[in-house]
């Protein structure tokens, strides 16, 4: 059902969604600057060189364990961005799949980060497992971060391209 004249169509939330997504994109970019060092060792079964492991593990120790409670800010932005996309979807018109897409693009990487990436990063930062296991964790984190980056980048592109305006026009 299209929003009534003068009723917010969710576009007023676009700056909040964009700000949250841009923040998350920047965090992912910083993480990826360390993650990509795993690409120097193409053999997925081999342990990474100690210098690479020390660099990646040191970074994840600093950002997951040593930086507490600042790390909670990232989780807060994830949740706030998700809530903003839900509110935007609730207020917008258009087909349901177009309204559900932005929340999904936040929910998928957020749930992945909170259930897998962060726990793996904490384990990697602790360096309490073998070098081969640390290397596997680092490679897994890279792949998962690339997925998260793709979701957040797509969300930003949709929001900045006027996706919400197009969504509203489809409901007319």
Provide the domain limits for residue 104. 13-165
Integer Cα distance of 28 and 22 in angstroms: 10
Integer Cα distance of 49 and 134 in angstroms: 11
pLDDT at 46 over 60: yes
161: in domain: yes
Q: What does pLDDT average to over the chain?
A: 89
* Residue of higher predicted confidence among 122 and 171: 122
Tokens of 85: 């996309």
pLDDT reported for residue 5: 46
Q: How far, in Å, are 68, 102, 125, 149 from residue 154 at the CA level?
A: 29, 9, 29, 8
pTM of the model: 0.87
Tokens of 164: 């919400």
Segment 115-130 mean pLDDT: 97
Q: How many domains does the chain have?
A: 1
Residues comprising the chain, all counted: 172
pLDDT at 56 over 90: yes
Tokens of 65: 């364990």
Segment 133-137 mean pLDDT: 96
75: in domain: yes
Segment 127-144 mean pLDDT: 97
Least confident of 4-18, 131-145, 158-172: 158-172
7: in domain: no
53: in domain: yes
Tokens of 11: 């576009």
pLDDT digits (tens, 9 = 90+) for 18-36: 999 999 999 999 999 999 9
Integer Cα distance of 86 and 95 in angstroms: 15
Q: What is the 8-class DSSP label of residue 44?
A: T
Segment 95-103 mean pLDDT: 90
Tokens of 4: 């009534």
pLDDT reported for residue 8: 52
pLDDT reported for residue 97: 84
pLDDT digits (tens, 9 = 90+) for 141-166: 999 999 999 999 999 999 998 765 55
pLDDT at 60 over 90: yes
4: in domain: no
């Amino acid at each position: 059902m299209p929003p009534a004249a003068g009723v917010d169509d969710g576009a007023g939330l676009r700056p909040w969604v964009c700000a949250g997504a841009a923040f998350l994109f920047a965090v992912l970019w910083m993480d990826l600057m360390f993650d990509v060092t795993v690409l120097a060792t193409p053999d997925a079964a081999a342990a990474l060189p100690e210098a690479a492991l020390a660099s990646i593990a040191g970074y994840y120790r600093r950002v997951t364990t040593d930086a507490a409670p600042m790390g909670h800010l990232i989780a807060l932005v994830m949740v706030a961005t998700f809530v903003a996309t839900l509110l935007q979807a609730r207020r917008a018109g258009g087909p349901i799949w177009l309204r559900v897409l932005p929340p999904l693009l936040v929910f998928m990487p957020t749930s992945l980060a909170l259930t897998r990436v962060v726990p793996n990063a904490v384990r990697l930062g602790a360096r309490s497992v073998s070098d081969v296991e640390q290397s596997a964790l680092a490679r897994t984190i890279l792949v998962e971060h690339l997925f998260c980056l793709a979701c957040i980048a797509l969300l930003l592109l949709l929001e900045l391209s006027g996706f919400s305006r197009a969504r509203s026009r489809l409901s007319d």
